[in-house]
């Protein structure tokens, strides 16, 4: 009984790590830049299809999987840079409603583009051969691939925290969010800085999509639930907080995983229950700052 619960929690941690990688990108774009990017889930979906194409082009080998982890973030990062530079920057000074409409339009464009290239059928990637087995934990099998996902999530959390808190780039981004005019007066190209942050956020969505591709099916619509959960992570963790996003993603992953054991049909409802509880206790989020 307790072993089953522990394995279920560990599965939830793995699921939470994928959610963290995706939501950390949205934390940068929405929590830091204040851009309500509704296309973030579509970036994740597009990355999963790119991972499918790259993996199958190399024959479903370990090399193909490694190439997909490299190519999907790279392609989505460049896509994000172009999207911000060509479209979002043009409406930067207007109401958030314009950004919301623009990013929602991008979700439709990406969905139609995927349908045109790959069709509407479900696709599968499969685990890489090197990680297709399982390890025994308290006598129960646990997928080796899930351990890789947990490790990648921890590495990304560490790198992002270092980037935002210990580097000049991170401190400049934080300062530009508070007072962009002053930062611009000091010689920093603020629009270019925003473009780079947006591209980094899109690349993280790409990495999340590539990591998630072997876990489930790759199909149109897989970005719908991840975008809702990602916004929940940003709110629960605290706007712009990377450690908060990690804590929130793990909470959601574990709560959902345990909720499936108790009431499978209410799995998604547990996300909003957790959201409501946190907002009642800490309206600024777990590690957010009160404003």
pTM: 0.93
pLDDT digits (tens, 9 = 90+) for 28-59: 898 778 888 999 999 999 999 999 999 988 87
pLDDT: is 158 or 173 the higher one?
A: 158
How high is the pLDDT of residue 256?
86
pLDDT: is 177 or 112 the higher one?
A: 112
Q: Where are the domains of the chain?
A: 17-219
How high is the pLDDT of residue 114?
96
Mean per-residue pLDDT over the chain, rounded: 89
How high is the pLDDT of residue 291?
52
Helix (H, G, I), strand (E, B) or coil at 170: helix
Contacts of 70 (CB under 8 A, 6+ apart): none
28: tokens are 């940068």
Mean pLDDT of 233-237: 90
pLDDT: is 288 or 205 the higher one?
A: 205
CA distances from 117 to 49, 179, 198 (A): 10, 43, 25
pLDDT band at 289 (very low <50, low <70, confident <90, very high): low
How high is the pLDDT of residue 290?
58
Contacts of 106 (CB under 8 A, 6+ apart): 38, 39, 42, 83, 87
Instruction: Please tell me the distance from the alpha carbon of residue 161 to that of residue 242, in angstroms, as a whole number.
Output: 6
pLDDT digits (tens, 9 = 90+) for 74-130: 999 999 999 999 999 888 778 888 999 999 999 999 999 999 999 888 998 889 989
Q: Is 69 exposed, middle or buried (0-12, 13-18, 19+ CB in 10 A)?
A: buried
C-beta separation of 45 from 223 below 8 A: yes
């Amino acid at each position: 009984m307790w072993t089953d619960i522990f394995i279920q929690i560990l599965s939830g941690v793995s699921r939470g790590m994928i959610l963290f990688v995706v939501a950390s990108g949205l934390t940068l774009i929405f929590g830091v830049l204040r851009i309500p990017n509704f296309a973030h889930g579509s970036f994740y979906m597009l990355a999963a299809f790119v991972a499918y194409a790259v993996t199958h082009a190399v024959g479903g080998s370990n090399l193909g999987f490694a190439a997909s982890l490299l190519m999907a973030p790279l392609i989505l990062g460049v896509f994000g840079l172009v999207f911000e530079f060509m479209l979002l920057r043009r409406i930067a000074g207007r109401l958030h409603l314009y950004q919301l409409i623009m990013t929602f339009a991008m979700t439709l464009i990406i969905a139609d583009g995927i349908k045109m290239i790959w069709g509407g059928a479900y696709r599968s990637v499969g685990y890489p051969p090197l990680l297709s087995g399982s390890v025994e934990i308290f006598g129960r099998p646990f997928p080796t691939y899930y351990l890789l996902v947990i490790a990648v999530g921890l590495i990304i959390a560490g790198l992002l925290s270092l980037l935002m808190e210990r580097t000049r780039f991170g401190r400049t981004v934080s300062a530009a969010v508070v007072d962009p005019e002053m930062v611009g007066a000091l010689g920093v190209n603020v629009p270019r800085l925003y473009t780079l942050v947006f591209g980094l956020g899109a690349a993280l969505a790409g990495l999340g999509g590539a990591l998630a591709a072997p876990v489930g099916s790759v199909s149109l619509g897989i970005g719908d639930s991840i975008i809702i959960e990602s916004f929940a992570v940003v709110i629960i963790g605290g706007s712009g907080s990377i450690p908060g996003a990690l804590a929130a993603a793990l909470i959601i992953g574990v709560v959902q995983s345990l909720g499936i054991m108790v009431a499978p049909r209410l799995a998604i409802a547990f996300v909003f229950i957790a959201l409501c509880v946190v907002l009642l206790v800490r309206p600024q989020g777990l590690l957010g700052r009160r404003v």
